[in-house]
C-alpha cells in the first residue's frame, strides 16, 4: 500500500534549499570517482572473459561475484536475510522450453530441426497430442482484397498448412512488405486465423534448409521470465495456437497423396491470382510438451546504513543493470562477444564508484544520514526482470524508499549529439516529484555543471525510454526516480560496444552528478515530496 507523506511549506523550502551551499565533505569523498577507477572496473566487467554477461549464463554469474567482492571490500553490508549469500537476492527466473517434440507423416518420423521445428511460444502448458488423417493446404492464409484462401473451408478443429511468408495479392511492380511491416501483417493474419479455431498450423518456410541450426534450437527455448505466484483469482489463460514450422520437403510429403508440391501450388496461385486450397488425405501425428527450467540469476546488493537514528529508516536506492545480451549467436561471427561496455557496464561501474565514495565517507565519520542501497540488477535486457523482482519482493519497504537513481549507459555519446559528450539525458526526474527535479538540477548546478538534456523526459517519447529501464519498476509504485542515460549509438546491442570506445572522463563526470544528487538526497532535511500520480496528474492529499 502506498503511503502519502505530508509536509509543511517550510519543510519543502528547507529540502529544496539543502543543496544551496556546496558541501566540502561531499566534494572530498567524490575524489575517488575518476576515469582511472572507472577503467579498472569496466575493463573487467566488459572483458571477453565475461562473455557479454547474459542473464542465466556464466558471464552474468562472474559479474555478480565481481560486484559482490567490490561491495564487501568497501565495507558495505549484505542486507538479504533469506538466502545463503546476504549480498545476493535470488531472482526467480524460469524458461518454459519445448521437450519431447515429434512429428510423423504417414507413419514416418520426421527429424527435429532438420524437417520441422516447434517454437516455444506456440506450445501451451498442456502437452500437445495431435493425430489426424487430413491436412488442409490454404495457400498464404490470407483473406483480403477479394482474395480468400479459406473460401469454402471450415478450419475449426483442422490442421491447416500455409506458407510462412508471401502475399499473392501484391501486383507486379508493387513493393512487397518487408521487415516490421511484413511481421505485423503476418501477426494480423495469425490473429484472424486463431479466431477460426484450427487444431494446429503448419508454416511452410521455403528457406527452412538455409536457417542456421542455432536459430532453430533457440526458437524452441522459452523466453526467460519471472516465476510468479499464482493469483488468488487467475486470469483466463491466453489462447495458444499450436504452430510448427516445416521444410518444403516435409510439406511435399504431406501433399504426396494429392500428387502435387508446394512449389507447384505456389506457381499456380501466382499465375492465376486465385487460391489453390486443397485437402490432403494424410496421416499426421504431432507431440510436444513444455518443461519448466529454472535459471540462476541474482540482484547484487550493498547496503550502507544511515547515521541518523531516525532518518536511517529511509532508504535511497541507486541502481544499474549488470547484465547484457551475451554471445553472438552466429558461430561464424568474427567478434563473438557483445561486451556491453556502455550498456550497462558503464552504469554498473558508476554504481561501484558511488558505493566506494559513500563507504569511505562513512568510515571517516561523514556517512549519510539516510541509508543507501547500492543495487545492480540482473535481467534488464530480458524485460526489467531483476528490478521487477525487487520491487515486488523488496528488502526495504517501498514506503520507506525515498528515491531511485538509475544509471543505464553513461559511457559514450549520442549519434544525435555528435562532437560534444558534455551532457546527460535525465528522464523521469519531474514525473512524480517536482522536489526531486529541483534537487537533481541544483546538484548539477552546484557541483558538476554538465548539460542536462530533457529531450526524452516525457511519457509520449516515441522511444518510450521512461518505461525501458529499471527505474520504472520503482516509479510504478510511486517512488520518484531519475534515469541517467547517454542515448544510443551505432554499437547499441552490437559487438562493437567495447571498452576502447568509452569516454572515461565523461563516465566519471556523469557518475559524479549521480553521486552529488545522492549525497543531497541522503542528507537533506526531508525526502522528496511526491506531488504527482504515475499518470502525471497532481496528487491530492
Name 321's bridge partners: 377
Domains of the chain: 9-92+297-523 (3.40.630.10), 95-293 (3.50.30)
Statement: residue 3 has pLDDT above 80: no
| Alpha carbons 297 and 289: distance in angstroms, whole number | 25
| Alpha carbons 95 and 383: distance in angstroms, whole number | 13
What is the enclosing helix (H) or strand (E) of 105?
Answer: strand 93-105
Can you read off the three cell numbers belonging to residue 514? 549521480
Residue 21's pLDDT is 62
Can you read off the three cell numbers belonging to residue 301? 546488493
Q: Please give the average per-residue pLDDT across 342-362, as a whole number.
A: 98
- Mean pLDDT across the chain: 91
Q: Which backbone phi and psi does 352 adopt, to 5 degrees? A: -60, -40
User: Tens digits of per-residue pLDDT, 166-182?
Assistant: 888 888 777 777 777 77
Residue 186's pLDDT is 76
Q: Which residues contact 83 (CB under 8 A, 6 or more apart)?
A: 89, 90
121 or 63, which is more confident? 63
User: Tens digits of per-residue pLDDT, 41-71?
Assistant: 999 999 999 999 999 999 999 999 999 999 9
Statement: residue 235 has pLDDT above 70: no
Residue 121's pLDDT is 81
Instruction: Work out the pLDDT band at 541, boundaries 50, 70, 90.
Output: low
State the pTM of this model: 0.86
Give Cα 452 distance to the centre of its chain: 25
User: Tens digits of per-residue pLDDT, 328-350?
Assistant: 988 889 999 999 999 999 999 99
Statement: residue 379 has pLDDT above 60: yes
Rg of the Cα atoms in the chain:
28
| Alpha carbons 531 and 540: distance in angstroms, whole number | 8
Indicate if the alpha-carbon torsion angle 413, 416, 417, 418 is positive or negative: positive
Residue 18's pLDDT is 41
Instruction: Work out the pLDDT band at 231, boundaries 50, 70, 90.
Output: low
Residue 238's pLDDT is 52
Q: Please give the average per-residue pLDDT across 144-156, as a whole number.
A: 90
Name 318's bridge partners: 374, 405
167 in Cβ contact with 176 (< 8 Å): yes
H-type alpha helices, 231-335: 248-254, 262-272
Say whether 350 sits in a helix, a strand or coil.
helix
**Dihedral of the alpha carbons of 444, 3, 306, 387, in degrees to the nearest 10:** -70
345 in Cβ contact with 352 (< 8 Å): no
- Lowest-pLDDT range of 150-164, 171-185, 305-319, 438-452: 171-185
| Alpha carbons 286 and 197: distance in angstroms, whole number | 17
User: Tens digits of per-residue pLDDT, 440-484?
Assistant: 999 999 999 999 999 999 999 999 999 999 999 999 999 999 999
Name 96's bridge partners: 292
User: Tens digits of per-residue pLDDT, 78-108?
Assistant: 999 987 899 999 999 999 999 999 999 999 9
Amino acid at each position: 500500500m502506498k503511503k502519502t507523506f505530508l509536509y509543511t511549506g517550510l519543510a519543502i523550502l528547507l529540502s529544496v534549499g539543502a543543496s544551496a551551499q556546496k558541501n566540502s565533505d561531499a566534494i572530498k569523498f567524490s575524489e575517488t570517482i575518476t576515469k582511472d577507477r572507472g577503467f579498472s572496473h569496466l575493463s573487467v566487467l566488459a572483458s571477453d572473459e565475461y562473455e557479454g554477461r547474459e542473464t542465466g549464463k556464466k558471464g552474468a554469474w562472474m559479474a555478480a561475484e565481481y560486484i559482490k567482492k567490490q561491495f564487501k571490500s568497501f565495507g558495505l553490508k549484505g542486507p538479504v536475510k533469506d538466502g545463503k549469500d546476504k549480498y545476493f537476492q535470488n531472482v526467480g527466473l524460469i524458461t518454459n522450453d519445448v521437450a519431447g517434440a515429434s512429428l510423423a507423416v504417414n507413419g514416418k518420423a520426421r527429424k527435429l530441426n532438420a524437417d520441422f521445428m516447434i517454437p516455444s511460444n506456440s506450445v501451451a502448458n498442456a502437452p500437445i497430442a495431435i493425430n489426424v488423417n487430413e491436412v488442409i493446404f490454404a495457400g498464404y492464409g490470407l483473406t483480403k482484397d477479394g482474395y480468400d484462401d479459406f473460401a469454402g473451408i471450415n478450419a475449426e478443429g483442422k490442421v491447416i498448412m500455409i506458407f510462412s511468408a508471401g502475399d499473392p495479392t501484391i501486383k507486379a511492380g508493387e513493393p512487397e512488405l518487408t521487415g516490421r511491416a511484413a511481421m505485423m501483417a503476418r501477426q494480423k493474419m495469425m490473429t484472424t486465423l486463431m479466431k477460426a479455431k484450427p487444431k494446429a498450423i503448419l508454416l511452410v518456410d521455403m528457406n527452412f534448409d538455409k536457417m542456421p541450426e542455432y536459430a532453430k534450437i533457440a526458437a524452441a527455448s522459452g523466453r526467460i521470465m519471472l516465476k510468479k505466484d499464482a493469483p488468488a483469482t487467475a486470469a483466463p489463460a491466453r489462447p495458444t495456437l499450436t504452430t510448427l514450422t516445416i521444410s518444403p520437403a516435409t510439406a511435399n510429403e504431406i501433399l504426396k497423396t494429392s500428387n502435387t508440391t508446394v512449389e507447384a501450388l505456389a506457381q499456380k496461385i501466382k499465375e492465376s491470382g486465385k487460391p489453390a486450397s486443397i485437402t490432403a488425405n494424410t496421416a499426421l501425428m504431432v507431440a510436444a510438451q513444455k518443461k519448466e527450467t529454472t535459471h540462476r540469476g541474482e540482484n547484487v546488493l550493498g547496503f550502507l546504513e544511515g547515521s541518523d537514528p531516525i532518518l536511517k529508516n529511509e532508504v535511497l536506492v541507486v541502481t544499474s543493470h549488470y547484465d547484457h545480451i551475451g554471445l553472438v549467436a552466429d558461430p561464424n561471427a568474427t567478434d563473438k562477444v557483445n561486451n556491453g561496455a556502455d550498456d550497462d557496464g558503464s552504469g554498473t561501474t558508476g554504481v561501484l564508484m558511488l558505493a566506494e565514495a559513500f563507504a569511505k565517507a562513512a568510515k571517516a565519520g561523514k556517512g549519510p544520514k539516510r541509508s543507501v542501497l547500492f543495487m545492480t540488477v540482473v535481467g534488464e535486457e530480458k524485460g526489467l526482470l531483476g528490478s521487477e523482482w525487487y520491487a515486488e519482493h523488496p528488502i526495504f519497504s517501498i514506503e520507506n524508499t525515498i528515491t531511485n537513481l538509475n544509471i543505464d549507459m553513461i559511457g559514450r555519446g549520442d549519434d544525435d549529439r555528435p562532437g560534444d559528450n558534455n551532457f546527460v539525458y535525465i528522464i523521469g526526474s519531474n514525473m512524480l516529484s517536482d522536489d526531486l527535479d529541483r534537487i537533481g538540477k541544483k546538484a548539477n548546478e552546484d557541483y558538476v555543471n554538465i548539460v542536462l538534456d530533457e529531450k526524452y523526459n516525457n511519457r509520449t517519447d516515441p522511444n518510450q525510454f521512461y518505461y525501458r529501464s529499471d527505474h520504472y519498476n520503482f516509479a510504478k509504485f510511486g517512488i520518484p526516480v531519475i534515469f541517467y542515460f547517454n542515448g544510443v549509438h551505432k554499437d547499441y546491442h552490437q559487438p562493437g560496444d567495447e571498452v576502447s570506445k568509452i569516454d572515461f572522463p565523461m563516465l566519471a563526470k556523469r557518475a559524479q552528478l549521480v553521486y552529488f544528487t545522492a549525497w543531497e538526497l541522503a542528507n537533506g532535511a526531508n525526502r522528496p515530496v511526491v506531488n504527482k500520480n504515475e499518470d502525471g496528474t497532481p496528487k491530492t492529499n
